[in-house]
């Protein structure tokens, strides 16, 4: 039969298209599951004790680290783990005064390696090289944050002296020989730092820890918290409060400002001078919105936002709203805010920075971007990358451009500014509770494809009601996408990390407990039972699909997890607001870009600093140039703010 001997192109594609890969093997592996399977028998599952340490050791001054912790990443770490470790460090920097710097000879440092599981010692043991293991399946941000909280001096939440007031340990349901994992510490030796018991701590066991059967080992005294304990998303408020108290933190090192406009002082923001109109703090606006964003869906009408009424302004009027003075350290920022546009179609919102230096003591406006988009009846999330290097303010400029009358205006709420990079892509899923409840199991929805800075196109595949066998879960996979005619990419795709984040829409960026998973493309990985490279060109290993606009493209196999987050957790906190969920994506791999620094010239000697950042195989090398009289005047700290794992010293050019 000639038809079979000469299959069409689509037949070939069908035969070769690869199936999805689950990084967890379809299981929600907590730290303790991973370590148990690895055959480890550590104290409380993931704590390493040294000889000098008894279980009751006091976490006092001598066990504390300096607030900037020297670290070293050992070569055997998985590449995805390295990227996630850097992301975990970024959360510490955003939410606490704890910072990390690559080890450069300090007496004590944390050496991160790939052991058989996830574990750490508690506190600074003063042993020189103190090891912390991020093994297979430990490459989740909360797992890494959890192990570093141990290293910083914290025990598990349910080992507090007062835990019996809050949870009941079901001793007869604990696996034989594992009972010691449920010991407590006396309150004369372990301090809870004046913070109430926290069911939502990321240092709490889950209800099923070390069980021998199917019944929970930990029963919360308040039943509603039964499925809250064991969260592995992000630091809870109390986790951060304890960290702040132990380390005398005053603020996050990369955090700059946050405002939800709930207080009349509008967080120290000011009305610009010399414009014709003002922004006004209101609870609702003619023409919309009827409610602010911070309190959307909670206490209707109770919240406030800033509004520039283009309905009442004259054509050509502008209104400036300026942040308080801010002092950058890194020199790059991410501004994010919610924006409701009920103005005329041609009215604009523009973002500027007002920068202050010797030549401009009163500040000089620099245009950053115009916020696009026609009026829409919803609050929309926007991100704007800034690059302020000196003292500055962020400036929102509203302009009534159109001459026609319009009822509404421009509105702002929940502004956050931090010295971090912005996510690259926003995917908003409307009516998300409904989508979760009404999508059949094993049915996927897809984000629009998005192309990262380096030219690869990604897509998130989401199963709102889980893949086969995972009802009540969200399953999430990253896919590569290519279009006919795409050129310039290298296949199989080498070492690109994609992060899929379900955003906790808490108004304050430091209180967000977003849920995220990152995966990295390994160009050497073969699909199981196949000679095909998993991350090869989607035109070769994927399937052809038709986009909503009728255009066609090819989608490669998915790589992710069936157990991204449970429905129960997705319906908690502010993951869904105004009915909608927001996924943030980053096809992120270049930590270099932000590191390149130039220390300003003073004199004749030129020194260069070479660092190998992020992923080895990306071969992204950054060079920092320092022109100073002596090498001692070249500061490593100023250029090493996000942390490299490997670098060479300053040397003469
Ligand atoms: Ca508000
Ligand atoms: Ca004004
Ligand atoms: Zn632990």
Q: What is the pLDDT of residues 530-576, one digit of tens each?
A: 899 999 999 999 999 998 889 999 999 999 999 999 999 999 999 99
Instruction: Of 519, 510, 396, give the one whose Cα is nearest residue 458.
Output: 519
Query: How far lies 130's CA from each of 77, 107, 269, 552, in Å?
Result: 16, 10, 45, 52
Report which of residues 146 and 651 the model is more confident about: 146
pLDDT digits (tens, 9 = 90+) for 46-77: 999 876 665 444 556 788 999 999 999 888 89
Ligand 3 centroid distance, CA of 44 (Å): 7
Last residue within a domain, chosen from 389, 418, 447: 418
Q: How far is the CA of 293 from the centre of ligand 2 (A)?
A: 23
Q: Do 402 and 447 belong together in one domain?
A: no
166 vs 196: CA distance, rounded Å: 10
Q: Which of 203, 162, 170, 192 is nearest to 30 (CA)?
A: 203
Residue 156 among known ligand-binding residues: yes
Query: Is the pLDDT confidence value at 133 over 50?
Result: yes
Closest ligand to Cα 272: 2
Given 418, 446, 468, the domain boundary residue is 418
β-pairing, 515-520 with 497-502?
antiparallel
CATH number at residue 84: 3.40.390.10
Do the Cβ atoms of 52 and 123 come closer than 8 Å?
no
Ligand nearest to the CA of 301: 1
Q: Which pTM was predicted?
A: 0.88
Mean pLDDT of 336-341: 98
Measured CA to CA in angstroms, residue 550 lies from 11, 163, 553 at distances of 22, 58, 10
Domain boundary pick from 196, 212, 247: 247
Sequential DSSP letters for 34-76: HHHHTT---BTTTEE--TT--TT----GGGPPPSEEEEEE-TT
275 pLDDT tier (thresholds 50, 70, 90): very high
Q: Does 150 show up as a binding residue in the annotation? A: yes
Exposure on the CB side of residue 241, measured as CA atoms within 13 A? 12
User: Is 9 among the domain residues?
Assistant: no
3-state secondary structure of 98: coil
| Mean of pLDDT values over 624-643 | 54
How many Cβ atoms are within 10 Å of 100's Cβ, its own excluded? 23
pLDDT digit string, tens, across residues 432-461: 999 999 999 999 999 999 998 878 999 999
Q: How large is the average pLDDT for residues 98-106?
A: 90
Cα separation, 207 vs 614, whole angstroms: 36
Alpha-carbon gap, residue 605 to 638, rounded angstroms:
19
Cα 277 to Cα 145: distance, rounded to the nearest angstrom? 46
Alpha carbon distance 573, 64 (integer Å): 32
Q: How far apart are CA 243 and CA 110, in angstroms?
A: 18
CA of 211 to the centre of ligand 3 (A): 17
Q: What is the CA(641)–ligand 3 centre distance, in A? A: 27
Distance between CA atoms of residues 520 and 514, nearest Å = 20
Q: Ligand 2 centroid vs 319 CA: distance in angstroms?
A: 5
Rg of the Cα trace of the chain?
A: 26
Statement to judge: residues 210 and 260 lie in one domain: no
Average pLDDT along the chain: 87
pLDDT number for residue 624: 61
- Ligand 2 centroid to residue 312 C-alpha, Å: 14
Give the number of C-alpha atoms closer than 13 A to the C-alpha of residue 148, restricted to the C-beta side.
36
Query: What mean pLDDT is predicted for residues 10-14?
Result: 41
* Domain presence at residue 500: yes
If asked whether residues 338 and 304 sit together in one domain, one would say yes
Compute the distance from residue 260 Cα to the ligand 2 centre, in Å: 20
Q: What is the DSSP string of 581-638?
A: EEEEEEEE--SHHHH--EEPP-SS-EEEEEEE-S-GGGT-EEEEEEE-SSGGGS-STT
In this structure, the dihedral spanned by the alpha carbons of residues 329, 330, 331 and 336, taken in order and rounded to 10 degrees, is: -100
Residue 409 and residue 460 share a domain: no
481-530 residue pLDDT tens:
999 999 989 999 988 899 999 999 999 999 999 999 999 999 999 988 88
| Residue 11 in marked binding region | no
Helix or strand (DSSP H, E) at 362:
strand 360-370
- Per the domain annotation, does 285 fall within a domain? yes
Annotated active-site positions, please? 147
Q: Kindly give the distance from the C-alpha atom of residue 341 to the centroid of ligand 2, in angstroms, as a whole number.
A: 19
- Ligand closest to 289 (CA) is 1
The residues facing 133 across adjacent strands are 113, 119
Vertex 308 angle, CA 304 and 313, to 5°: 145
430 and 507 in a single domain? The answer is yes
- From residue 483, alpha-carbon distances to 390, 498, 538, 552, 598 in Å are 43, 19, 9, 7, 39
pLDDT at res. 51 = 64
User: Can you count the helices (H) and strands (E) in the chain?
Assistant: 10, 37
Ligand nearest to the CA of 320: 2
What is the spatial distance between Cα 175 and Cα 10, in angstroms, rounded to a whole number? 53
Confidence of residue 603 (pLDDT cuts 50, 70, 90): low
Residue among 368, 384, 390, 331 nearest 595 (CA): 331
The pLDDT score that the predictor gives to residue 653 is 54
Same-domain status, 213 and 259? no
Looking at the structure, do residues 478 and 517 belong to the same domain, yes or no? yes
Q: What angle do CA 168, 192, 189 make, to 5 degrees?
A: 95
pLDDT in tens, 176-196: 999 989 988 876 666 788 899
**Relative to the alpha carbon of 259, which ligand is closest?**
1
Residue-level pLDDT at 610: 56
What is the Å distance from ligand 2's center to 280 Cα? 10
Average pLDDT, integer, range 42-48: 90
The answer to whether residue 398 is domain-embedded is: yes
pLDDT confidence of residue 631: 64
Specify the higher pLDDT residue, 73 or 626.
73
Residue 343 forms part of a structural domain:
yes
Give distance in angstroms: CA of 304 to centre of ligand 1: 4
Do 263 and 233 share a domain, yes or no? no
* pLDDT at 646 exceeding the cut of 70: no
| Residue 138 CB-density burial (10 A; 0-12 exposed, 13-18 middle, 19+ buried) | buried
Q: Please give the Cα distance from 504 to 416 (Å, whole number).
A: 14
Q: What SS3 class is residue 489?
A: coil
| 521 plus 473 within the same structural domain | yes
DSSP annotation string for 276-305: S---EEES--TTS-SS-STTTTTSTT---E
Domain count, the chain: 3
Which domain CATH number covers 287? 2.60.120.200
Torsion of Cα atoms, 385 then 389 then 392 then 398, to 10°: -30
Starting from the CA of residue 276, give the closest ligand. Answer: 2
Taken in order 365, 369, 370, 371, the sign of the CA dihedral is: negative
Look up the CATH number of the domain holding residue 505.
2.60.210.10
34 touches 138 (CB < 8 A): yes
Does 456 lie in the same domain as 362? Answer: no
Contact residues for 312 (Cβ-Cβ < 8 A; gap 6+): none
4 in a structural domain = no
List the one residue out of 122, 16, 145 whose CA is nearest residue 60: 122
* Inside any domain, residue 640: no
293 & 225 share domain: no
C-alpha 80/C-alpha 138 separation (Å) is: 10
**N residues, the chain:** 653
Structural domain containing residue 539: 425-588
On whether both 388 and 433 belong to a single domain, the answer is no
E strand segments, 192-269: 218-220, 255-259
Is residue 366 classed as helix, strand or coil in its secondary structure?
A: strand
> 360 CB contacts (<8 Å, ≥6 apart)?
none
627 strand-pairing partners: 606
User: CA angle at residue 43 from 103 to 159, to 5 degrees?
Assistant: 100
User: Is 618 within a domain?
Assistant: no
Work out the pLDDT band at 249, boundaries 50, 70, 90: very high
């Amino acid at each position: 039969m000639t038809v079979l001997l000469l299959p069409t192109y689509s037949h070939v594609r069908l035969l070769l298209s690869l199936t999805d890969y689950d990084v967890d093997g379809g299981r929600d592996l907590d730290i303790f599951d991973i370590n148990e399977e690895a055959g480890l028998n550590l104290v409380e599952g993931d704590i390493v004790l040294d000889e000098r340490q008894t279980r009751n050791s006091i976490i006092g001054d001598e066990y504390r680290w300096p607030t900037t912790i020297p670290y070293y990443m050992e070569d055997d770490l998985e590449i995805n783990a390295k990227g996630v470790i850097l992301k975990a460090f970024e959360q510490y920097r955003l939410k606490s005064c704890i910072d990390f710097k690559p080890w450069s000879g300090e007496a004590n440092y944390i050496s991160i390696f790939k052991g058989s599981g996830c574990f750490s010692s508690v506190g600074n043991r003063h042993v020189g090289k103190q090891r912390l293991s991020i093994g297979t399946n430990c490459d989740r941000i909360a797992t890494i944050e959890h192990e570093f909280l141990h290293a910083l001096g914290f025990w598990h939440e349910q080992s507090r002296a007062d835990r019996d007031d809050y949870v009941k340990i079901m001793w007869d349901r604990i696996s034989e020989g594992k009972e010691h994992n449920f010991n407590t510490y006396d309150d004369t030796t372990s301090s809870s730092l004046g913070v109430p018991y926290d069911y939502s701590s990321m240092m709490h066991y889950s209800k099923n820890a070390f069980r021998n059967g199917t019944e929970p080992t930990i029963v919360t005294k308040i039943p509603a918290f039964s499925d809250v304990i064991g969260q592995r998303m992000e630091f809870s408020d109390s986790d951060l409060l304890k960290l702040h108290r132990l380390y005398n933190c005053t603020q996050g090192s990369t955090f700059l400002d946050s405002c939800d406009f709930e207080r009349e002082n509008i967080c120290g923001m000011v009305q610009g001078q010399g414009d014709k109109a003002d922004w006004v703090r209101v609870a609702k606006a003619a023409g919309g919105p009827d409610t602010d964003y911070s309190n959307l869906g909670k206490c209707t009408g109770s919240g406030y936002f800033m509004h520039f009424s283009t309905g009442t302004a004259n054509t050509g009027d502008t209104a400036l709203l300026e942040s308080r003075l801010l002092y950058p350290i890194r020199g790059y920022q991410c501004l994010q805010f919610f924006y409701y546009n009920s103005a005329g179609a041609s009215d604009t919102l523009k973002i500027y920075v007002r920068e202050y230096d010797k030549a401009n003591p009163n500040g000089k406006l620099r245009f950053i971007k115009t916020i696009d988009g026609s009026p829409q009846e919803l609050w929309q999330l926007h991100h704007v990358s800034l690059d302020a290097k000196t003292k500055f303010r962020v400036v929102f400029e509203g302009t009534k451009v159109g001459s026609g009358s319009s009822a509404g205006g421009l509105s702002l709420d929940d502004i956050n500014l931090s010295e971090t990079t912005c996510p690259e892509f926003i995917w908003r899923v409307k009516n998300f509770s409904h989508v979760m409840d009404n999508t059949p199991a094993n049915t996927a929805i897809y984000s629009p494809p998005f192309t990262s800075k380096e030219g690869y196109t990604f897509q998130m595949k989401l199963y709102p009601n889980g893949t086969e066998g995972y009802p009540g879960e969200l399953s999430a996979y990253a896919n590569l996408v290519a279009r006919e005619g795409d050129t310039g990419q290298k296949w199989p795709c080498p070492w690109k990390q994609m992060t899929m984040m379900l955003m906790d829409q808490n108004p304050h960026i430091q209180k967000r407990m977003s849920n995220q998973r990152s995966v990295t493309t390994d160009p050497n990985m073969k699909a199981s039972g196949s000679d095909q490279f998993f991350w090869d060109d989607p035109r070769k290993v994927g399937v052809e699909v038709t986009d909503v606009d009728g255009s066609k493209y090819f989608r490669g196999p998915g790589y992710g997890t069936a157990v991204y987050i449970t429905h129960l957790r997705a319906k908690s906190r502010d993951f869904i607001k105004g009915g909608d969920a927001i996924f943030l994506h980053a096809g992120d791999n270049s930590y270099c870009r932000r590191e390149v620094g130039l220390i300003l010239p003073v004199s004749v000697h030129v020194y260069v600093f070479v660092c190998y950042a992020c992923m080895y195989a990306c071969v992204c090398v950054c060079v920092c140039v320092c022109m100073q009289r002596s090498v001692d005047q070249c500061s490593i700290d100023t250029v090493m703010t996000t942390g490299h794992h490997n670098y060479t010293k300053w040397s003469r050019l």
